[in-house]
Structure 1
Amino acid sequence: MADDGQKRGEEGEQVVNPWEVTAKDGGKIDYDKLIEKFGCQLLDRFLVDRVERLTGRPAHVFLRRGVFFAHRDFNEVLDVYERGEKFYLYTGRGPSSEALHLGHLVPFMFTKYLQDAFKVPLVIQLTDDEKCMWKNLSVEESKRLARENAKDIIACGFDITRTFIFSDFNFVGGAFYENMVKVAKCVTFNKVVGIFGFTLEDHIGKISFPPVQAVPSFPSSFPHLFPGKDQLRCLIPCAIDQDPYFRMTRDVAPRIGYQKPALIESSFFPALQGETGKMSASDPNSAIYVTDSSKDIKNKVNRYAFSGGQDSIENHRKYGANLEVDIPVKYLSFFLEDDAELEQIKKEYGAGRMLTGEVKKRLIEVLSELVERHRKARAAVTDEMVDAFMAVRPLPNMFS
């Protein structure tokens, strides 16, 4: 585990941790440097091909196009699966806002694919306690937002016979808390400052939180799900800003008799205004929300989506678009399923034969369809369904 993993960083350097994502000098996040600094591995084409071979289905668009680009021991989880053994998935959400934006949906869309492809159980942690401490929300408001966010998560289509959703305020205790204490005893104050960049001004709630996010990585934290399966492997799909938590977890795991969790990590979904970090919930015009109407989406894309097109049609026809900075093309790379159509758009737009307005028009269609589909699915999620997903219960058919 690299102690220098996430200090606040030297002046002007990029900062990537669970609470702050800032590119160097206002530029783009350098993911190659992140891989080197964090000590994870690049997710290469060999692993993508292996996933397709083992699951018998095409790789998810996020795998094919490198959205999930880094990993820790993902190959070992595939080894386990190939031997006919099982693993489980763990992901989560910090519920700090009423509605999710598209960047929030990315890990859940991918986790849904993993659950379906590998037919494995999933635990989803809602860190309402974390947001209560970091966002200065009341306990009651944090718990309310957790349930609201659970509805959006359920709307992604998870299998209730393989999925357990829990909020920290409601679930922490028993075996889960025992594992938290075991982890906490292994991590010094100096270590946690080195990993997360905490300062003397941070209250002790923040400093004591990391074990809470660490221990869902251990199957013994869920005795109702995994009794007697303490060595079951865990795979965590998440954005790479969550890596510091799990570097700490992986360092501690063998010292307390557990397997290290494996990770598969994504890049950040860029803001409409450009690829300088991740979307901000504090700026509604930086993001497309799952509550946005088709009119909202059209307005946001046309007004705010940063274009790599030229400043005049004449220049655009002559020089073509800069695809490296064009946000509509980047968004289509996430959500346009058809590989051939995406390549055609990039070819025509990059050559200047397709105009910015045409690309934005196609993006508006794709996003409007995605958001409308999600809106309908969420409207069908009742409070009783939330209760059912969050009920502490065995999942007898979770591996079948």
Structure 2
Amino acid sequence: MPATDDFTVTPYAVEGDIDYDRLLDEFGAESLTTEQKAQFPQPVHQLIRRDVFYAGRDVDAFLAAANEGKTHSIVTGRGPSGPIHIGHIIPFYFAKYLQDQTGCLVYIPLSDDEKYLLKDKSLDEIHGHTRENLLDILAVGFDPERTRIVVDTADADVVYPLAAAFAKEVTQSTVDATYGDPENIGLSFYPAVQAAHLLLPQLVEGRHPTLVPIAVDQDPHVRVCRDIAAKQRYDVSKPGALLSKFLPALEGPGKMSSSGDAASIRLSDDRETVFEKIRNHAYSGGRRSVESHREHGGDPEVDVPYQFLYYFFEKSDERVERLAREYRDGSLLSGELKEIAAASIADFLEAHQNRREELGPVADELKQYRLRESERQAARKQAGYPSTRVF
């Protein structure tokens, strides 16, 4: 796992100023090409256009299936260890965009078991976060006919048998080399659970291209799963990966976090709170004085409010380029840029919160997204188990 004097990127820790190109060398992934970007649905999403999703594996197979109207799927999940912030929700809105444009299947696993193993939280606390996170995911507005949400502990009848089958394909030395020394035996087993998540669409629907849009720190899960699929003991293809950069932390380099004392913008934040956090906590690329900024300009490449707009919250390329140009020449001040970013984020959150408020109880809403009994049986059968329970 990449861990240098400059930065650290693992599934469980991200620190420092990340060199994304060096990560590709370490992980063996490839940058997205201009030709690949052009194959995404038109208009190409800003996350692709602006190289936020900047690299991947086997992306071509997914794009070909999407453009030919063949079965294809997305897997993007959530570890429910706390409230969701804006960095967590972006991949779900990207998956929703692809589903709207191409009709892809979307599978959403919630790894409540992993978070219990990893965090100093009770099962009851994790359960509470799971319920709240589910409401935010449901508020994105996925098509229930083409979306399945799987909660590990609630869907153990399908997740555990698959994980047990896949665990036999992974050695402890592979886990240690990929993840480092796990804190407990549960985390040693978890890569097999993650493989169950990533291969589940194919076990239910048959062999087809699957794409996993994830932040680059989660890539080890995909690599282990691809090794399992490559052994060809199951009728599945290796899942592809679409790797993203991190939405910056409010206070500067590193990914936005929902833990500890670091400020983050949560999906539950009201408009006033968003403005307060951006004004008081967002790292600025501007100068120390208005006079100096007018003379020398600011640096949008390190300015967090600008990066929020660039990553996701400003769809217009023309406007985002104009803001960068005006910031560099000093005609746009740091405070003005913060107000623009805060307004865009607050508008997004208000729309999301309104959709969430329209939802009923989470158990009722979730019913239409859960695996059907026939789908559970199909997955078990493909993994070599009886299609129905023996006992």
How does the TM-score come out when normalised to structure 1?
0.88
- Aligned runs of 1:40-189 on 2, under 5 Å? 40-52=29-41, 57-97=42-82, 99-174=83-158, 176-189=159-172
CA distances 1:323-373 after superposition (whole Å, capped 9, x unpaired)? 221111101112111221111111111111111111111111101101111
- Unpaired segments ≥5 residues, structure 1: 1-5, 396-400
CA distance in 1, matches of 2:178, 2:366: 35
CA distance in 2, matches of 1:313, 1:78: 48
**Aligned twin of 1:260:** 238
2:70 maps to a residue whose letter is: E
Offset of residue 14 of structure 1: 2.1
1:254 maps to a residue whose letter is: A
CA distance in 2, matches of 1:301, 1:114: 30
Offset of residue 82 of structure 1: 4.0
**Aligned twin of 1:251:** 227
1:321–1:350 contact (8 Å) kept in structure 2: yes
**Aligned twin of 2:28:** 39
1:239 maps to a residue whose letter is: A
Offset of residue 307 of structure 1: 0.7
1:378 paired with 2:363, answer no
**Aligned twin of 2:372:** 392
CA distance in 1, matches of 2:8, 2:342: 32
Higher relative contact order (CA 8 A, sep 6+): 1
**Aligned twin of 1:398:** none
**Aligned twin of 2:344:** 366
**Aligned twin of 1:3:** none
Offset of residue 146 of structure 1: 1.4
CA distance in 2, matches of 1:232, 1:245: 19
1:179–1:221 contact (8 Å) kept in structure 2: no
CA distance in 2, matches of 1:141, 1:358: 40
2:367 maps to a residue whose letter is: D
CA distance in 1, matches of 2:66, 2:322: 37
**Aligned twin of 1:292:** 269
The number of residues matched between the two structures is: 370
How does the TM-score come out when normalised to structure 2?
0.90
Distance 1:45 1:370, change over 3 A: same
CA distance in 2, matches of 1:220, 1:329: 37
What SS is found at the alignment partner of 2:268? coil
Distance 1:37 1:20, change over 3 A: same
What SS is found at the alignment partner of 2:255? coil
What SS is found at the alignment partner of 1:123? strand
1:237 maps to a residue whose letter is: P
1:147–1:386 contact (8 Å) kept in structure 2: no
1:143–1:169 contact (8 Å) kept in structure 2: no
2:251–2:283 contact (8 Å) kept in structure 1: yes
- RMSD across aligned positions (CA): 1.8
What SS is found at the alignment partner of 2:168? helix
What SS is found at the alignment partner of 1:286? coil
CA distance in 2, matches of 1:386, 1:215: 20
